[in-house]
Amino acid sequence: MSDFYNDYNDYNEYSSELSNQPPQPPKKPKNHTFLKVFAFLLCMGVVSAGSVQIYKFMDNSQFNLSEDSSEEESNTPVNAETDETDKTEKNQNDTKPAPPTQNIPGLFDIAARSDAKALPDIVDEIMPSVVGVSSTFEVEKTYSSWGFGFPTESYKQDVVGTGTGIVMSEDGYIITNAHVIYDDSDQYKAGEAKEVSVLMSDETEYDAKIIAYDVETDIAVLKVDETGFTPATFGDSNDLRVGELVIAVGNPLGFELFGSVTSGIVSALNREISIDEKSMTLIQTDAAINSGNSGGPLLNSCGQVVGINSAKMSSSYGSASIEGLGFAIPITDARVIIDDLINYKYVKGRPQIGISAVNITEAYSSYLGLPMGLYVRNVAKGSAAEEAGIRTGDVVIAINDETVTNMEELNNIKNKFKAGDSITLTIYRDGEDIDIPLTLHDANEEMNVQEEN
């Protein structure tokens, strides 16, 4: 969606744009503080859980609101006797006990859990587990030796994007967003980064290897071949409540602002957000999440990672001006993906039908005399669709009696199932509707499918 934004498209180009001369090879920066971040554009654009530890977050704020017990009198007494009497009566009438100390709860007291920790303590503990991720992409650009309107030539150029990561193990496994190390933006389509490095909070830098990534859930796993790292403590995102305090840590706008901390609340849970035609179920928060924060931790008030910061809605959404709309991948959902990426290099059990299709819009439906749905252009050999008898030219109009008119709707329904489950496709063929039972295959076994997500 063009109305969402994250550092999916944030690059730091070290070679200047050349309009009349072929470019010179870019120089590698000598200092991380000069890494810049520009937008890649996702445009709005995820490990095992540790045991829950009990902490005390913050005592209630206390304010002593007691008033002065008496005021000085400046009146001159008429005589000594009257003066003494007046003083005695005044002391008896005007001396008041101070009101009791009042406990006035602050925002953190209200929003934090009862077993929470002090915010500075949370930051101190998480910071060694937060890393900066620097990805180098090779992109192809064009230029004209003669200027605009003349034939162009192409050349390769390295561009650098930055993001954030979370240390998940002592032996160097790190999790981040897939879009930090893989670019499929309309601007570059650079694919997988050719080089990845991570920067620790103590400014130590390591080369990192991409273990695996899953674009659909926007999760990636990296590995540094060293030991002795400080892993973060992971919690259960299913325990989150709307209104609960959360803290985001990351590197907005690059490493110059490394380890920036923001706080807010959980604005909503289970938000269905569509990013680049992929539906994701995310945590919504008003904690500031900016370009460069992608892949960083969203923490609860006990200091446990409950989400992976992934995206924010842009500052303008249509004609509306908005802010405070950030999104994070629930860590409990991410655990299964991360484990599969480490163990199998892909996500197991993801369902696949095995077709490529084009949408039949309302206009095409009227013109062609076909129902709205998905026109099957190709059926993958050996796929679930071929086994079920789906043919090229069929029009898929429903899954399990749920109407579908485009590929996104088809995938959203299909992804509620897993490989091995049985579904029923309703297709239009030769003027009639036909129900065809189908057993879903594992997506990673469908090597010939090119277009179905």
Whole-angstrom distance, CA of residue 211 vs CA of residue 160? 20
Task: Decide if 218 is catalytic.
Answer: yes
How many residues does the structure list for the chain?
453
**CB count in 10 Å sphere of residue 451:** 12
Higher pLDDT, residue 34 or 173: 173
Whole-angstrom distance, CA of residue 315 vs CA of residue 379? 42
Torsion angle, alpha carbons of 302, 295, 347, 378, to 10: 140
pLDDT for res 149: 66
Give the pLDDT band of residue 230 (cuts 50, 70, 90). Answer: very high
Answer yes or no: is pLDDT of 338 > 50: yes
Active-site annotation holder among 158, 218, 333, 340: 218
Whole-angstrom distance, CA of residue 85 vs CA of residue 78? 11
Give the pLDDT band of residue 305 (cuts 50, 70, 90). Answer: very high
Answer yes or no: is pLDDT of 87 > 90: no
3-state helix/strand/coil string of 324-344? CCEEEEEHHHHHHHHHHHHHH
Whole-angstrom distance, CA of residue 271 vs CA of residue 128? 30
Give the pLDDT band of residue 116 (cuts 50, 70, 90). Answer: confident
Segment holding 93, helix H or strand E: helix 80-94
Whole-angstrom distance, CA of residue 321 vs CA of residue 5? 14
User: Could you tell me which CATH number the domain at 351-445 has?
Assistant: 2.30.42.10
Q: Which fold has domain 1-48+103-348?
A: Thrombin, subunit H (2.40.10)
Tell which phi-psi region holds residue 253, choosing left (phi > 0), alpha (psi between -120 and 50) or beta.
left
Give the pLDDT band of residue 106 (cuts 50, 70, 90). Answer: low
Helix locations, 284-425, DSSP H: 331-344, 362-368, 384-388, 407-414
Whole-angstrom distance, CA of residue 253 vs CA of residue 261? 13
Active-site annotation holder among 294, 301, 310, 383: 294
Whole-angstrom distance, CA of residue 219 vs CA of residue 214? 5
**For 131-145, 322-336, 375-389, which range has the lowest pLDDT when averaged over its residues?**
131-145
Query: 351-445: same fold as 1-48+103-348?
Result: no
**CB count in 10 Å sphere of residue 32:** 17
Answer yes or no: is pLDDT of 21 > 90: no
**CB count in 10 Å sphere of residue 176:** 31
Domain ranges of the chain: 1-48+103-348, 351-445
Task: Decide if 179 is catalytic.
Answer: yes
pLDDT for res 133: 96
Active-site annotation holder among 10, 179, 197, 276: 179
**CB count in 10 Å sphere of residue 374:** 24
Which span out of 41-45, 305-309, 312-316, 322-326 was modeled with the highest average pLDDT? 305-309
- The phi and psi torsions of 413 (rounded to 5 degrees) equal -75, -45
